[in-house]
Amino acid sequence: MSYPEQRYFGESGEHSGVFRSAGDPPDLPMRTTQVHYLATGGLTGGAYGLYRWEMGPSPSGPGAHFHRTMTESFYVLSGTIRLYDGVKWTDGRPGDFLFVPEGGVHAFRNESGEPASMLILFTPGAPREAYFEELADIAATGRSLSPEEWTELYRRHDQYMV
């Protein structure tokens, strides 16, 4: 393992940090989940995407799926989040971490009846915001998709349901 190829070629560094306050409002309020776009793939030059996922007490979370182009990692901040590693479900508690490589089947759910939050990290940084926003719009408008439309939506966003 070695360091990646150089990406910055300046001599003295830059003042280019981006600060985001914990108190900033969510970028995407959904029914029972608030999503904070901490560092999108666009912001990080495609290096990664980092999101804070705050789930309310109602059951929520995607079914088992995998991605072909990116890894996904979960770090539980608060509450209890059920994490699926493709083999078994585990109750993730604050400080627990799950890494899923490309092609790895996974899922998460809040079934605790209490609020819970986690960080979700995608590498490299894919445009996941468009996927999250499309799902939020479908839920908010009550739009109904055919199985073929769901398959196409998932395909466009590198989401393969199992």
Amino acid at 121: L
Contact 94, 76 (CB under 8 A): yes
User: Cα separation of 22 and 20, whole Å?
Assistant: 7
Domains in the chain: boundaries:
28-161
Q: Give residue-wise pLDDT tens across range 40-58.
A: 999 999 999 999 999 999 9
CATH of segment(s) 28-161: 2.60.120.10
Confidence of residue 31 (pLDDT cuts 50, 70, 90): confident
Q: Give residue-wise pLDDT tens across range 83-130.
A: 999 999 999 999 999 999 999 999 999 999 999 999 999 999 999 999
* pLDDT, the chain, mean: 96
- pTM over cut 0.75: yes
What was the pLDDT predicted at 122?
Answer: 98
